[in-house]
Amino acid sequence: MDKFTQLDGLTAPMDRANVDTDMIIPKQFLKSIKRSGFGPNLFDELRYLDEGKPDQDCTGRPLNEDFVLNQSRYQGASVLLARQNFGCGSSREHAPWALLDYGFRCVIAPSFADIFYNNCFKNGILPIILDEDTVDSLFKEVEAEEGYRLVVDLEAKEIRTPGGRTIAFDVDDFRRHCLLNGLDDIGLTLEDADQIRAYEEKRKQKAPWLFN
Amino acid sequence: MAGKTLYDKLWDDHLVQERDDGTSLIYIDRQLLHEVTSPQAFEGLKLAGRGLWRVNANLATPDHNVPTTVEERKAGNEGIEDPVSKIQVVTLDDNCDEFGVTEFKINDIRQGIVHVVGPEQGATLPGMTVVCGDSHTATHGAFGALAHGIGTSEVEHVMATQCLIQRKMKNMLVKVNGQLGAGVTGKDVVLAVIGKIGTAGGTGYAIEFGGEAIQSLSMEARMTICNMAIEAGARVGLVAVDQTTIDYVKGRPFAPTEDQWEQAVAAWSELHSDADAVFDTVVELEGSEIAPQVTWGNSPEMVVPVNAVVPNPADQSDENQQKAYARALEYMGLTAGQAITDIKLDRVFIGSCTNSRIEDLREAAAVAKGKKVANNIIQALVVPGSGLVKQQAEEEGLDKIFTEAGFEWREPGCSMCLAMNADKLGAGEHCASTSNRNFEGRQGFGGRTHLVSPGMAAAAAIAGHFVDVREVETA
């Protein structure tokens, strides 16, 4: 996993509540057995006018010009500004894989669905929860100013706007530590293997049927 | 000190380690695997040179991609026409063979949707922690098990460590008082709950469903309710263990036997919230007030009783909600004020991890018996949740009832719930579906999904439009 320390990123607004993981990456693309290559199909049904197929070259497909990520001013965006309950629905980790493959490293929203929120951290994406009013103000600024970039500083737990405003955000210490250092949490858990074994021994006495 | 909730008890029983930062290591008793969210996890293990921590904690079956037509299924994996789907199913087989994981392969009678198979085999037991790379894992909470849907990185984490890093959730009690009316099912209860608290209402919570109406329900109905906890935003749904639970589990292939059975039943009798337990949030509904539900929009919270009308966006107080409602009406091709019973349908789907168990099929068959699917319905599918459900339904003659009425009787799998196989909606088509998500494009590009109970779906297939199943004659 790539480290996440500080990001100075062009910001794109996705002005829609309850964006579900089917919308982020439609089911026909879940048939891959790899973790990469989902970027061209991110938001497939919103982004293109035709129906996307797996393993298809997307370069010649008709674009939905109205869709925000198709606008020239948002090309190369790495920060996604979103509305409440972003990432609801299926647990598919293909959703953060698609965001990452497209180039997003940070998603800012008033709220996230639990599984998606968790999946982001496992893939080097920082999901940031800010209150509704602050998110609203960022939407206004982003839409008003072409080339709007946010500086997301995970070390300092703050976002800095082009206008000089500093917005603090909160993030779980363990997840922050893993992101800052690009740590694989399986390796970390296995450091406590003895404790897991001790738990198993104790549990086997009380509930042996669980180990049949 | 206040008593514990069921969730608190399950959490405490599985706590391996509490860390200073508020996260904990939770031990996982059972991991269910399917072909879509496991290949990258197995690949990760291999790349890191790691093995499975405890092989027999894992159980696998292909479900999302498998074809459901009798013809395509005959040849097993070789018969899967879509080459990409085939690779995924074959990869699951190869991985399970390599790592020694028990798998019910494509044409094993025990194959089916993971959330049907686990309970059916007794692989899901009260008091367990159960995970699967699928958000509908909450289903297993119907057994008083702590069941989480997880992502693929976590699947790999559980494979390698038998643990999950978690932060404790808050407790919510959804209490359904009294009794449900005739023709009203678990599906209607959970849709009504989602309508009330919204699709993010349960975010951060473990929801326990309780109250007299829930206690009176069968295990199948409890599974339907817990299955859709995630549609209310909750990763975990729970129902306390009672005699109904124990009777269901007894004698299943993976269930404990003899002395261990007695010991297990004694332990399971503790799996309920204490009388003085404190919940962070309590939501109450009156069972008798719940009518059969139908979703009209593209979020499960966009739901109304069958005798209501499509709502007007202008009546919503919140501006974002108004926009979402207007967009949903446009996508669904509906107008505000239109009666739900006037919605014309093109297809009907009875199946999915929400509603493909024997009781669901009986409920639909009772409505369909001796009748015919309406002419405007292009296709009415019945897809049993597992090979064993299919077998039992055939023993009871349900397949005949369906096929004589004009339904197609299929092989088990996820099918049109998410249309990863060939079963899907055409653009603009309306479908009465017993599945769990009505998102845009979920059942096919441009498809329009309406979520309902199996009885409502069958009644809609016969009428060609929605009808109140309570007013339909049943066998």
Model confidence over A67-110: pLDDT tens digits?
Answer: 999 999 999 999 999 999 999 999 999 999 999 999 999 999 99
Query: How confident is the model over B93-121, as pLDDT tens digits?
Result: 999 999 999 999 999 999 999 999 999 99
Mean pLDDT of chain A: 95
Per the domain annotation, does A192 fall within a domain?
no
- CB A1, CB A142: distance < 8 Å: no
Query: How confident is the model over B351-384, as pLDDT tens digits?
Result: 999 999 999 999 999 999 999 999 999 999 999 9
B205's enclosing H/E stretch is strand B205-210
Tell me the three state secondary structure of residue B158: helix
Phi-psi region of B85 (alpha: psi -120 to 50; beta: other; left: phi over 0): alpha
- Amino acid, res. B200: A
Confidence of residue B78 (pLDDT cuts 50, 70, 90): very high
Per the domain annotation, does A28 fall within a domain?
yes
Instruction: Tokens for A198, please give them.
Output: 């001790």
pLDDT (average), residues B168-191: 98
pLDDT, position B419:
86
- Which residue in chain A is spatially nearest to B82 when comparing CA positions? A31
CB A119 to CB B153 under 8 A? yes
Looking at this predicted complex, what is its ipTM?
0.94
- Which residues of chain B make contact with A209, given a CB cutoff of 8 A? 125, 256, 260-261, 263-264
Per the domain annotation, does A196 fall within a domain?
no
Per the domain annotation, does A206 fall within a domain?
no
Would the pLDDT of B60 be above 80? yes
- CB B200, CB B112: distance < 8 Å: no
- The domains of chain B, with CATH numbers, are 1-291 (3.30.499.10), 294-471 (3.30.499.10)
Would the pLDDT of B180 be above 90? yes
Nearest partner of B206 among B177, B168, B240, judged by Cα: B168
Count of residues for chain B?
475
CATH code, domain with A49: 3.20.19.10
Side-chain-facing half-sphere of B188: CA atoms under 13 Å = 30
Dist CA A45 CA B441 (whole Å)? 8
- Which one of B149, B157, B199 has the shortest CB-CB distance to A185? B157
Query: How confident is the model over A146-183, as pLDDT tens digits?
Result: 999 999 999 999 999 999 999 999 999 989 999 999 88
Range of A102's domain? Answer: 6-181
The alpha carbon of B420 is separated from its chain's Cα centroid by a whole number of angstroms, namely: 16
pLDDT, position B475:
80
pLDDT, position B320:
85
Note whether B430 contacts A: Cβ–Cβ < 8 A: no
Would the pLDDT of B319 be above 90? no
Nearest partner of A50 among B429, B445, B327, B333, judged by Cα: B445
Q: Structural domain tally of chain A?
A: 1
- Which one of A20, A33, A83 has the shortest CB-CB distance to B87? A33
Mean pLDDT of chain B: 96
Note whether B156 contacts A: Cβ–Cβ < 8 A: yes
Tell me the three state secondary structure of residue A119: helix
Note whether A122 contacts B: Cβ–Cβ < 8 A: yes
Dist CA B80 CA B86 (whole Å)? 6
Confidence of residue A212 (pLDDT cuts 50, 70, 90): confident
CB B267 to CB A123 under 8 A? no
pLDDT (average), residues B76-94: 94
Query: How confident is the model over B449-461, as pLDDT tens digits?
Result: 999 999 999 999 9
pLDDT (average), residues B382-388: 98
Q: What is the DSSP secondary structure assignment for residue A193, as one 8-state letter?
A: H
- Sheet with strand B205-210: strands edge to edge: B236-238, B205-210, B170-177, B281-286
Query: How confident is the model over B277-314, as pLDDT tens digits?
Result: 999 999 999 999 999 999 999 999 999 999 999 999 99
pLDDT (average), residues B205-220: 98
Note whether A206 contacts B: Cβ–Cβ < 8 A: yes
Dist CA B234 CA B208 (whole Å)? 10
Note whether B435 contacts A: Cβ–Cβ < 8 A: no
pLDDT, position B175:
98
Per the domain annotation, does A113 fall within a domain?
yes
DSSP codes joined into one string, B316-342: -SSHHHHHHHHHHHHHHT--TT-BGGG
Note whether A62 contacts B: Cβ–Cβ < 8 A: no
Per the domain annotation, does A57 fall within a domain?
yes
* Other beta carbons less than 10 A from residue A72's beta carbon: 7
Between the alpha carbon of residue A135 and those of residues A35, A81, A82, A109, B49, the distances in Å are: 30, 8, 8, 7, 43
